[in-house]
């Protein structure tokens, strides 16, 4: 599916477990416009050894090439997200200090939070808040630290370069999801992104990540329960899962899905901890994202358990698209939040440069991503 608008194209690629998803945006009237999108299923790799003796990485490259062959994106660079479960997000408090000192202090402290030798890790950080210490004892600053193993970063770069593209920007998918689903909306939100293998729970206040947790469970655990409870094949269970039948809220059909219960318990833990720390701030909404957000009955089910308004996030809300795409885009829904968030970052960079008044969202001062230049500088300083 391709349209011919403008010349500036920005491609975001999400390497999910169930599929690789890509979106291409351009800029029209100073706003992002969808010019192309596509996804390729990884179902044949999800459960077991890749066919024909190829390695998983070789298969990913082949699938990505197949996706690009179909999409025929313009240009040769793309932004890439690293799965949240591969990276690490921590929060560290420091006494108020200059940025130059902070850099040193972070390097000194980081090893306490990162279980791998620092020379093997790509690090990035951002000051996310400042608050006073009770009793007039000065101020503290809160720093969000992002880390990923360099070899993992290289793996994703390798996928893209093997398909004939360069990766101009890499970040943890957590940031991409927040950018497309919440952007800078004011207030406190809990995003629950449920994919196939993994779930990300992200507490976000005024567009800034406050808490980020990953659980190793998702849509494929729902498939397994359906298959075992109804004594049907996983293939059949997958189809049934997406059929619109309500296995959560219809009493005669309801089944127990331990993965969904554990996700709710983690959400409760995050919300309770936040409430204890900040009794004055109330979570406005729980926002579901990822392909599994579309599991029929899930919104109502979580609304009952969490006693908060629950909605399915719309990552397409900040982009324009051809009216003929509306139906397809509504079907794709929140499964594209990562790829859209990536492409939106690139659009934002250009809009900042070209027209300072057309700001879609404010980029953090210190980048929360692992840019290629930044990674190279880390490797050089090693
Ligand atoms: N209508 C639907 N109802 C229920 N589940 C659905 C529906 N549509 C898609 N899914 C499920 O959503 C999951 C895929 O979601 P998504 O594309 O967000 O995952 P992913 O990014 O590939 O995986 P992960 O993030 O875990 O690596 C699959 O388990 C799929 O079966
Ligand atoms: Mg995903």
**CB of 131 closer than 6 angstroms to any ligand 1 atom:** no
Q: Ligand 1 centroid vs 260 CA: distance in angstroms?
A: 13
**CB of 219 closer than 6 angstroms to any ligand 1 atom:** yes
Return mean pLDDT, the chain: 86
The answer on pLDDT for 332 being more than 80 is: yes
**CB of 63 closer than 6 angstroms to any ligand 1 atom:** no
Whether the CB-CB separation of 180 and 340 falls below 8 Å is answered with yes
Whether the CB-CB separation of 17 and 195 falls below 8 Å is answered with yes
Query: What topology is assigned to 184-317 in CATH?
Result: Nucleotidyltransferase; domain 5 (3.30.420)
Q: Domain spans of the chain?
A: 184-317
First to last CA, the chain: 44
| 200: helix, strand or coil | strand
What's the burial of 108, exposed, middle or buried (CB within 10 Å: 0-12/13-18/19+)? exposed
**CB of 156 closer than 6 angstroms to any ligand 1 atom:** no
What's the pLDDT at 49? Answer: 67
**CB of 247 closer than 6 angstroms to any ligand 1 atom:** no
Angstrom distances, CA of residue 233 to CA of 224, 238, 242: 9, 9, 15
Residues with CB under 5 A from ligand 2 (ion): 16, 195
What is the value of pTM for the model shown?
0.89
Name 73's Cβ contacts closer than 8 Å, sequence gap at least 6. 9, 11, 22, 24, 36
* Ligand 1, atom 6: closest residue by C-alpha: 292
The answer on pLDDT for 117 being more than 90 is: no
* Ligand 1, atom 21: closest residue by C-alpha: 16
**CB of 18 closer than 6 angstroms to any ligand 1 atom:** yes
Name the β-bridge partners of 33: 26, 320
**Using one digit for the tens of pLDDT, what is the confidence trace for 181-193?**
998 899 999 999 9
The answer on pLDDT for 175 being more than 70 is: yes
**CB of 241 closer than 6 angstroms to any ligand 1 atom:** yes
Q: Determine the atom of ligand 1 nearest the C-alpha atom of 238.
A: 31
């Amino acid at each position: 599916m391709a349209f011919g608008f403008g010349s500036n194209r920005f491609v975001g690629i999400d390497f999910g477990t169930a599929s690789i998803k890509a979106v291409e945006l351009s800029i029209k009237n100073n706003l992002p416009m969808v010019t192309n999108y596509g996804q390729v299923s990884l179902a044949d790799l999800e459960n077991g050894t890749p066919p024909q003796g190829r390695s998983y990485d070789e298969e990913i490259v082949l699938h990505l090439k197949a996706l690009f062959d179909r999409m025929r994106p313009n240009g040769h660079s793309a932004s890439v997200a690293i799965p949240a479960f591969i990276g690490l997000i921590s929060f560290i408090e420091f006494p108020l200090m200059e940025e130059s000192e902070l850099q040193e202090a972070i390097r000194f402290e980081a090893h306490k939070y990162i279980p791998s030798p620092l020379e093997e890790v790509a690090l990035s950080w951002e000051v996310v808040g400042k608050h006073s210490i009770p009793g007039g004892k000065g101020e503290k600053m809160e720093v969000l630290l992002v880390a990923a193993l360099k070899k993992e970063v290289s793996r994703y770069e390798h996928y893209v370069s093997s398909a004939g593209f360069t990766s101009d920007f890499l970040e943890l998918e957590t940031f991409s999801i927040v950018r497309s689903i919440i952007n800078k909306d004011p207030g406190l939100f809990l995003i629950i992104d449920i994919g196939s293998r993994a779930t990300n729970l992200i507490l976000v206040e005024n567009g800034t990540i406050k808490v980020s947790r990953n659980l190793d469970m998702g849509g494929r655990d729902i498939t397994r329960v359906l298959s075992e409870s109804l004594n049907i094949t996983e293939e059949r269970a997958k189809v049934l899962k997406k059929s619109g039948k309500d296995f959560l809220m219809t009493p005669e059909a309801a089944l127990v899905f331990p993965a969904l219960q554990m996700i709710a318990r983690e959400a409760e833990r995050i919300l309770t901890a936040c409430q204890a720390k900040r009794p004055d701030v109330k979570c406005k909404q729980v926002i579901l994202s990822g392909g599994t957000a579309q599991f029929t009955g899930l919104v109502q089910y979580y609304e009952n358990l969490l006693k908060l308004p629950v909605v399915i996030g719309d990552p397409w809300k900040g982009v324009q698209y051809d009216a003929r795409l509306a139906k397809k885009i509504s079907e794709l829904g929140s499964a594209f939040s990562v790829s859209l968030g990536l492409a939106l970052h690139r659009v934002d960079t250009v809009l900042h440069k070209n027209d300072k008044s057309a700001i879609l969202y404010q980029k953090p001062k210190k980048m929360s991503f692992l840019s290629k230049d930044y990674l190279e500088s880390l490797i050089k300083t090693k």
